[in-house]
Amino acid sequence: MSASFLAENKEKFEELQKVVEEYKGSEGPLMPILHKAQEIFGCIPLEVQNYIAESLDIPITDIYGVVTFYSQFTLKPSGKYRVAVCLGTACYVKGAQKILDELTNVLGITVGDTTSDGKFTLDATRCLGACGLAPVMMVNDDVYGRLVPEDIAGIIQKYK
C-alpha cells in the first residue's frame, strides 16, 4: 500500500477500520464493508481494496472481482454530478446515442470519465425505468426526458 495514500487518508482508514471490526465476525461481511468504504472514500481504489483484503484475510483478487462486477462500486472518484444516459432499447431507438454523443462533446469526456474540474462523471446505463420519456438521462437524482441533442448544453449549464 502506498504510504503517502495511507498518510493522506489516515482518518478515513481509521473510520474504515471501525467498519471492518463491526462486520468482520458476521456472515458475508464484504458487501457492507465495500459500501461503507465507498461512502468514506468516494470510490474503492486499489489501496482500499488491499486494506480490506488484508483485514478480512481474503485474496485481493476476490475484492477486485466484486468491485468491478457491481456497477454501484467505482475505482475512480466520481464527479459532483453523475450524468447517466439510458441506452436501453426504448431510449436507444429514440436517439439516446445522439444524446450521449452530445454529452461527450459538451463535457469533453468519454463514458466512465470525470471532467478535469471534478464536476461531472459520464455514465451509460441500460435502463433508468422511465421508458415513456425516452430518451432519458439523469443528473444525480434529476430526470430529463424526451431529449434532443440541442437540450444538452442548457441542461449541463444549470450545474456549472
The residues spanned by each domain of the chain are 3-69, 81-159
Mean pLDDT score of the chain, rounded to an integer? 94
Cβ 79 vs Cβ 120: under 8 Å: yes
Number of helical (H) and strand (E) elements in the chain, helices listed first: 8, 4
Residue 1 has pLDDT above 80, yes or no: no
Rounded mean pLDDT, 94-120: 96
For the segment 15-57, what is each residue's pLDDT rounded down to a tens digit? 999 999 999 989 999 999 999 999 999 899 999 999 999 999 9
3-state secondary structure of 81: strand
Residue 124 has pLDDT above 90, yes or no: yes
Q: How confident is the model at residue 78 (pLDDT cuts 50, 70, 90)?
A: confident
Q: Which fold has domain 81-159?
A: Glutaredoxin (3.40.30)
pTM assigned to the model: 0.69
The amino acid sitting at 50 is N
